[in-house]
Structure 1
């Protein structure tokens, strides 16, 4: 039997642009106490991967820095003290610090990993630790009731689409603001569509003359400032894209809730939310997968399958 001692991992050699990215080899990681080693079956690609590579979240990580923030796979080794999971179990979660998801093997924190139900594919599961949990938190951080209105800025992306699907489950009257190309995707969820850009605020006012009960922001900046006056209560503005502007306007950034990954897994398992994976790429083409996300204007998720 051949024992694998090294495995491929996609890294950035320094902070900056995509020219610093490369596929490298590293020793198969060893799980520390409280961690599990998994054989990665799928890894979701997110705009946050690009921001992290560019140094938007800090620039002190050791280089080369493994990339990727969410993964699903099979447990192949247990760190000291891990008793809740077993070798051979299928799980999903966020990689431990410094590990990265774009790899053949990675390490998860056992306490934060969630078992993958058989009803959810590895590919769909890999979209939930980042995008799925974000969508869930954004629709639950401020509680509104069935029949009340939800306005989503940037509704055409992977997170936005899941937000609208969760809104449909709760019976919210949802309005999605996105590029014209996303009209069909948004209307498929039961939400009303408004084209982004000049005139968006006026179009939203026509649909919601009394204002929105909750504004979920996935864009930030000036588009957020233009729509912020439309929310009835400024405290009911929640942003996953621009916490600083949201706070300035009286709202807040996204707050991660306890047990959120397990909650969104349950929602997807029940068939109430579809992550809508558009394309998958092998690990050798990880740069292409990241470029697709970096270009923007996607209506769903991109996933790397090692």
Structure 2
């Protein structure tokens, strides 16, 4: 049997439990791995609350990204072999001792990248990478990231700066130092945010990566001349209302290869701010759900 952490009913954290389940068997195009690390993301609690739909057979296992060692390869999962160190998007939950990955959304882990580092790449880092790609700015232009202090924003800021793009980011006063560590200009979010953006960038910004939506996105859009350069990851309705668009995702596998190479070369730091053992999965998810986490949280699995 294999230990996993999941939920028995849709709703709040009171429905979270540890489960014993059979080691999953890979289907076509899938890899079965022994999990070594799993990422903790806002999408995890949103799935548990039923905010993304209620189509899972319950009990469900939490977690959408993981890294580990291949133990079995399904039909058609070409390019992978038993014993490979891999990371990617899970099928059936990553908060577990064993899980399945979709081979097309997985990649081999370079030796210079730890399992913890690799587990931080498939969701937040890949979203940050695709967001910067989608906004489409060039060196010398300025990108505003709304909600910069989380896992997506932390990576997006570094990707943009790597390309010579200037970065501004909104966050709370408490996270000002963290934002500045990313090499970005900190902007306090909330009422008056547009005025503060223009104080930092008098000519406005060339693009916006919106990770939060709502009132701040509406206010910030006034500092952007070309509204098609507004890309959102969490509020497609507001983005469309403002003349922007929802993020377009690239094929996951090739993106993961690029991100792992950046980590291996020291050019990308996912800002992993805490690791927890699987036994403390509830505490880790509570940090993310409460909005207290900055950077990225990872579960380590023994």
TM range (shorter): over 0.9
Aligned match for 2:187, one of 161, 185, 194 = 194
Alignment map for 1:277-292 (pairs within 5 Å) = 277-292=272-287
Instruction: Determine the structure 1 residue equivalent to 2:74.
Output: 79
Q: 1:17 to 1:142 in 2, by over 3 A?
A: same
Q: Give 2:24's match in structure 1, choosing from 5, 23, 29.
A: 29
Query: Residue 173 of structure 2: which of 143, 156, 180 is its match?
Result: 180
Q: Does 1:235 align with 2:228?
A: yes
Contact 1:49 1:69 in 2 (8 A): yes
Secondary structure of 2:212's match? coil
Q: Is the 8 A contact 1:157 1:297 kept in 2?
A: no
- 1:191 shift after superposition: 1.3
User: Which sections of structure 1, spanning at least 5 residues, go unmatched?
Assistant: 1-5
| Paired residues of 1:43 and 1:305 also in contact (CA < 8 A) | yes
TM-score by length of 1: 0.95
CA RMSD of aligned residues (A): 1.2
Counterpart of 2:38 in 1: which secondary structure?
A: strand
* Mapped contact 1:11–1:66 kept (Cα < 8 A): yes
How many residue pairs match? The answer is: 299
Distance (whole Å) between structure 2 residues aligned to residue 86 and residue 31 of structure 1: 13
What does 1:62-211 correspond to in 2, within 5 Å? 62-96=57-91, 99-211=92-204
Q: What displacement does 1:278 show?
A: 1.2
Contact kept in structure 2, 1:152 and 1:217, CA below 8 Å: yes
1:17 offset after TM fit, Å? 0.5
Q: Distance in 2 between matches of 1:247 and 1:50?
A: 26
The alignment's TM-score, normalised by the length of structure 2, stands at 0.96
Report the equivalent of 1:275.
270
Whether contact under 8 Å (2:26, 2:72) holds in the other structure is: yes
- Of 264, 288, 294 in structure 2, the residue corresponding to residue 299 of structure 1 is 294
1:44 and 2:33 are equivalent in the alignment: no
Runs of 4+ in 1 over 3 A off after TM superposition: none
Deviations 1:166-194 (A, max 9, x none): 11101111111101111111112221111
